[in-house]
Structure 1
Amino acid sequence: MYKSKLIKLLSLLTPEESRMFYKFIRSVFYQNNANVVRLYEYLRKYYPDFPEKKLQKELVFEKLFPGRTYSLNTLAALMSKMVRLLQEFLLILDLRSDQFEREKRLVRIYGQRNQYDLFEKGTRELLDQLVSSETPSLINTIALNHQLYFHPLHNKYDPEDDSLENLMDALDQYFVLEKMRYGIALMSKQKILTHPYKWKLMEAVREGSSDIISPILFQLYTIAFALLEEKRSVNFKSFEKLFFEHIQDLDNRDKSLLYFTGLNYANGQVNAGKTAFSPIALKWYQDGLTNNLLLDNQKMDETTFGNIVTYGCREKEYAWTKNFISFYQVLLEDETREAVVTYNLALLHFSLQEFDKALAILNNYSFPEKDQPKARLTIIRTLFELFLKDQDYYDVLISNIRSFEMVISRNSFFE
């Protein structure tokens, strides 16, 4: 039971949701099996850790059915029932968190049950909400106008009705935007994997859509494609200026796609030896932090964390880099945080030419296998710098070089 789907789903719940679920399963509207309630009463005692020794199936069965012969089928049926209830509970929570989606579904129910007055009024109110929204949802605009125009009781030839025209306008915008968004994502993937793909309609979208979507957005995507295609005529500075001038006006998806296109371009230029892009890349990372663009589910990838430290050290922004490590380390994954922070602190001391401190940090921490190569290599770099000042470090430097060769030869990462 410890690794079961049931325990995985229960682990998703917050403490408040766990209490709410207890009320949920005791509602006769959702289920009337007292054994399901008893199963949850047993399991919730061990939330959120759910220790394996307390979740042995035989033990759980004995707690639920004292004196009865163990039956895997009986327990499995209860677990399946609770999984279905948990799934329904999570769906309800998700729906409750989205007021617009709830209203949209309610309006659709009115339409399906031929309450046309309520349906039409509710649909038009939702469309008005979309028009007044700072970032209107095109897919919702399409769906609502579709269900309004094609409802059997709707007067399709009312001269005042523009639902079909609005649908077509939204559809054009949606198609162009999604084609550009997915096009940028696909082209970025192709640069890494050289994955062949036969483009369809892309040229038509890129060449003939300036009057369909926002001129600023069209211009940004046009330059973004040019950056990915590495056209010589591309002006990165104009892209950078335009993007950050309008960043607050962009939809979150556009903001993210365009940001990472620019950031990856700057990183690529640095990797190609164009060191003038190093301060630019650092500035993009700093702006990404400011605009919350570098987090995924409120977590920061260790590669991103390391890149920021590397650029900060390269540009001698030592105080800023130290503060970054201190402030943002909490956003790293729990299982990798200590190793990532330890290595990057050592890198900071190395850049400050505090070689003794860097060496002490690296030597006193046992890095996981995947981090061994870079940690060992940094130790060698540190020892070399110390050797340049004191030749007594020669033997230990050579010893570490030979040890590094052995690490590389047996490290599964390089197999």
Structure 2
Amino acid sequence: MRKSKVILLLKTFSKEEIKKFDDLLSSPYFNKKKTLIRFYSELMKFHPEFPDDKISKENIYSKTFPGKNFNEQVIKNLNSEMLRLIKVFFEIELIGTDRFERKINLLKQLVRRKADKVYLSELKGFENELNEQSDISERKFHYLFLLEELKIAYHLERNEQPKVFDKVMKSGEHLILYFHLHFIKTISNLNINRQTYSVNYETNLPAEYFDNTSYENIIKYMKDNKISNSDLFEMYYLRVKCNTYPFEEVHYFKFKELLLNNYNSLDKIETYGLFIALEAYCLRKLMSGDLKFSKELFDIFRIEIDKNFYKFSDASPVTFMKFRNTYLTALRLHEFDWFEKFIDDYKNDLIESDRNAVLKIAYAYFNFEKDEFENTLKLLADLNPPQLFLKMDIRNLTLMAHYELDYIDSVLSQIDSYKHFLTGSNSLFEAMRESNFRFLNSLNSLILMKEKDQKDSLEELKLNLIPYVGERRIVWLIEKIDAEI
């Protein structure tokens, strides 16, 4: 039974959920079968491990029905009924935690029952609650749309057609804003899949829809007619324009301006996502060799921290990639004091299983930038994190520190090993593989050209690397080449 759906789901139950589900099973409204309660009770004696030898069908049956011969069909029926009630429990829990969803369902019931007095009172209360929310979000527009649809249905059922005219317009406006915010996030995710993971879609209806919609005309219409949320609409549109036309920086700076002028009116989750989009643009510009975006990215991180948008929520951890991007940006600009304060402020927000490796690698980079190469190597010794990015950080830093310490034989050996690692890594996306091979081949060429005093070849190598100065290790390589020319 260990692989049954019932066991797989029961394993996820917390102590509080176990008690709640026990209450549900004991309620005659949901369950009138006492055998099902006994069945559940016997199973939960082995929560959360549910070892095979304890929860075999025969063993659980004998405990549930002592003295009776095993009946396969009875066990199947109990499992089926238990699974049904677990699904009911999950549905109740989900609705129970979403106050807005509960309100909408209540209003639908009141409309259906023609309980007009109660309906109108509940409707007004919910509408006031939504409108009093100062934070704008996709979710808010969704429920404002549903609310207008309920009003329309209410009046139409009572043959009050004139009362729906303004509500149809409001419904349409709320629907457009809800759709626009959600749609732009979808387009952004599709672009990330294409740019970062080289995903090619044979057909792409969302992109086709975006490209063939006259967003500039819609934004102009909204502004000319003083329709609310025009800045919000434009800001989300510019989020995609930044991504699809990265060399037209005007889109980025207008997007940033609108966000800084409007973040106080936005839901924190919406704001977090928009700042992530600014980060992504800056990182992309950096990777294209536009170094002025180092300072721009650093400023974005500082604003996020100062305004409390750095994390998804106060309780959320900081991902190792965001933590890494932040401190590497500070180190690139030699903001060493800021680096140390940042590490101290946010180290405990890292996922605990990642923390030791992430912090040691961060301080290894810090020591490397301060030319303390022996300390760099000490910090990296014996680290073997599961994340590919961190594995590559360790290899890159170790190579550079060994070169600085003139351990050339070790560097050459590591280059060969690193290439085998990159070739054999199936989960590494191609752009990152190419980037690391470029670094390794260039470092190998630097060593060979340096030995042969081939200054012209070193000049050519430098020229070939200049387009990639957005990568810190490439900047380091160019510094080493300059030292030999």
Query: Which TM-score bucket, shorter chain as reference?
Result: 0.7 to 0.9
Is the counterpart of residue 165 in structure 1 residue 166 in structure 2? yes
Partner of 1:23: 23
Return 171-180 or 67-76, whichever deviates more.
67-76
Q: Distance in 2 between matches of 1:354 and 1:304?
A: 25
Return 292-301 or 237-246, whichever deviates more.
292-301
The letter for the 2-side match of 1:86 is: I
Is the counterpart of residue 364 in structure 1 residue 382 in structure 2? yes
Post-superposition CA distance 1:28-70 (Å, at most 9, x none): 2211223332333344444445556654555444443455555
Partner of 2:232: 217
**Percent identity of equivalent pairs:** 21
Deviation at 1:278, TM superposition (A): 1.1
Return 192-201 or 168-177, whichever deviates more.
192-201
The letter for the 1-side match of 2:394 is: A
Partner of 2:132: 132
Partner of 1:245: 261
The letter for the 1-side match of 2:405 is: L
Deviation at 1:284, TM superposition (A): 2.1
Deviation at 1:105, TM superposition (A): 1.8
Q: Distance in 2 between matches of 1:71 and 1:345?
A: 63
Change (3 A) 1:89 1:355: same
Partner of 1:156: 160
Q: Distance in 2 between matches of 1:108 and 1:244?
A: 39
Deviation at 1:254, TM superposition (A): 4.2
Partner of 1:349: 367
Return 304-313 or 124-133, whichever deviates more.
124-133
Q: Contact 1:179–1:202 (CA<8 Å) still a contact in 2?
A: no
Q: Contact 1:138–1:173 (CA<8 Å) still a contact in 2?
A: yes
Deviation at 1:347, TM superposition (A): 3.1
Deviation at 1:271, TM superposition (A): 0.9
Partner of residue 308 from structure 1, selected from 308, 326, 340: 326
Change (3 A) 1:311 1:200: closer
Q: Give the 3-state SS of the residue equivalent to 1:309 in structure 2.
A: helix
Change (3 A) 1:200 1:148: same
Q: Distance in 1 between matches of 2:398 and 2:144?
A: 58
Partner of 2:146: 143
The letter for the 2-side match of 1:377 is: N
Post-superposition CA distance 1:234-276 (Å, at most 9, x none): 1644432431232120245642443232111111111111122
Q: Distance in 1 between matches of 2:340 and 2:83?
A: 46
Change (3 A) 1:367 1:140: closer
Deviation at 1:174, TM superposition (A): 2.6
Q: Give the 3-state SS of the residue equivalent to 2:209 in structure 1.
A: coil
Partner of 1:120: 120
Partner of residue 418 from structure 2, selected from 399, 404, 410: 404
Is the counterpart of residue 383 in structure 1 residue 398 in structure 2? no
Partner of 1:283: 299
Deviation at 1:280, TM superposition (A): 2.0
Q: Give the 3-state SS of the residue equivalent to 1:199 in structure 2.
A: helix
The letter for the 1-side match of 2:171 is: A
Deviation at 1:102, TM superposition (A): 2.2
Deviation at 1:21, TM superposition (A): 1.9
Q: Give the 3-state SS of the residue equivalent to 1:283 in structure 2.
A: helix
The letter for the 2-side match of 1:189 is: L
- Alpha-carbon RMSD across the aligned residues, in angstroms, is 3.5
Q: Contact 2:180–2:233 (CA<8 Å) still a contact in 1?
A: no
Change (3 A) 1:47 1:244: farther
Partner of 2:213: 203
Partner of residue 272 from structure 1, selected from 288, 312, 333: 288
The letter for the 1-side match of 2:214 is: A
Q: Distance in 1 between matches of 2:130 and 2:324?
A: 41
Change (3 A) 1:88 1:384: same
Q: Contact 2:152–2:167 (CA<8 Å) still a contact in 1?
A: no
Deviation at 1:312, TM superposition (A): 2.9
Partner of 1:106: 106
The alignment's TM-score, normalised by the length of structure 2, stands at 0.71
Deviation at 1:22, TM superposition (A): 1.9
Q: Contact 2:268–2:309 (CA<8 Å) still a contact in 1?
A: no
Q: Distance in 2 between matches of 1:359 and 1:111?
A: 70
Q: Distance in 2 between matches of 1:61 and 1:326?
A: 56
Q: Distance in 1 between matches of 2:73 and 2:17?
A: 28
Change (3 A) 1:18 1:334: farther
Q: Distance in 2 between matches of 1:97 and 1:202?
A: 39
Q: Distance in 1 between matches of 2:338 and 2:15?
A: 37
In structure 1, runs of 5+ residues without a counterpart are: 388-392
Is the counterpart of residue 227 in structure 1 residue 242 in structure 2? yes
Change (3 A) 1:3 1:372: farther
Q: Contact 1:104–1:123 (CA<8 Å) still a contact in 2?
A: no
The letter for the 2-side match of 1:249 is: S
The alignment's TM-score, normalised by the length of structure 1, stands at 0.82
How many residues end up aligned between the 2 structures?
407
Is the counterpart of residue 13 in structure 1 residue 13 in structure 2? yes
Q: Contact 2:317–2:349 (CA<8 Å) still a contact in 1?
A: yes
In structure 2, runs of 5+ residues without a counterpart are: 431-485
Q: Distance in 1 between matches of 2:104 and 2:81?
A: 30
Post-superposition CA distance 1:330-379 (Å, at most 9, x none): 55556555544444443343334332233123232234484544432322
Q: Contact 1:295–1:301 (CA<8 Å) still a contact in 2?
A: no
The letter for the 2-side match of 1:154 is: R
Q: Distance in 1 between matches of 2:99 and 2:387?
A: 47
Q: Contact 2:279–2:300 (CA<8 Å) still a contact in 1?
A: yes
Q: Distance in 1 between matches of 2:217 and 2:263?
A: 24
